[in-house]
Amino acid sequence: MEPDEALSGCTPPRTERSSRCRPPHTDRILSLAYFPLDGGIVASAGADRTVRTWEASNGRPLLRLRGHESAVTGLAAGEADSTAVLASTDEDAKILVWDAMSGRRLADLHAARPLSALAFGTINDTGVLAAAEQDGPIRVWEALSGEELATLDTTDMSVTTLTVCTIAGTPVVLAGTRAKTVHAWQLPGGAAMGMVPVEQIPLALSFSSTGFLHVAGGDGLTSIHHFSS
């Protein structure tokens, strides 16, 4: 971990809500994550094998995180033990967990295959990380200890997106698939809870406190579904 160099290519905000910046990667950016901390912090994952963070409001570089030996393909932001944490994964299926503020490396995890989706969540105030392997299961770990909590069967599903949420007081993993379905599993045991058909391939999921599942698809539309345990 090291402080990043000055960020060229930033223009002053045209309004208080917008600015244009070129992140300091030397190759393509493959994933982004956002923390609502200190005015907002953005993290980016690059094909240059690094993760970078900077202030969202003005593009000022903060940290450059090194530890991956291949392109960093995914990011997930969350909280563990009252610490803002960032998980990054690469083409070799390595998953690294970082302190988002200091850049300290907190945990190393390994999946059997590269990932198609990655998500943070909380079970009883403990940070957990859900990772969907390409053509493989979803694995759920305690984010800091690396203890595996569940392995969720996704045979023939081809997962596109994940979220970890709470439904009626129960921690749940939700997974969108290329089969235009959203599946749910209870945590920590991993018992299957059911499936909801949707009209498009899900690219992002969120679950509201009022019991509604929001699904964003590749056709530019967002659909809303009632989902209960």
Reported residue count of the chain is 229
Residue 9 is classified by DSSP as T
Tell me the fold of 111-229: Methylamine Dehydrogenase; Chain H (2.130.10)
* Mean pLDDT confidence for 189-211: 87
Indicate whether 20 pLDDT > 70. Answer: no
Q: Indicate the pTM of the whole model.
A: 0.81
Rounded CA-CA distance 221/136 in Å is 28
Count CB-CB contacts under 10 A for residue 9. Answer: 10
Q: Which residue has better confidence, 19 or 137?
A: 137
Q: What is the pLDDT of residues 177-199, one digit of tens each?
A: 999 999 999 988 889 998 989 88
- In this prediction, residues 32-52 reach a mean pLDDT of 88
Q: How confident is the model at residue 116 (pLDDT cuts 50, 70, 90)?
A: very high
Q: In the prediction, which pLDDT does 65 show?
A: 93
Q: What is the mean pLDDT of residues 43-72?
A: 91
Domain boundaries, the chain: 111-229
Residue 178, CB-side half-sphere exposure with 13 Å CA sphere = 10
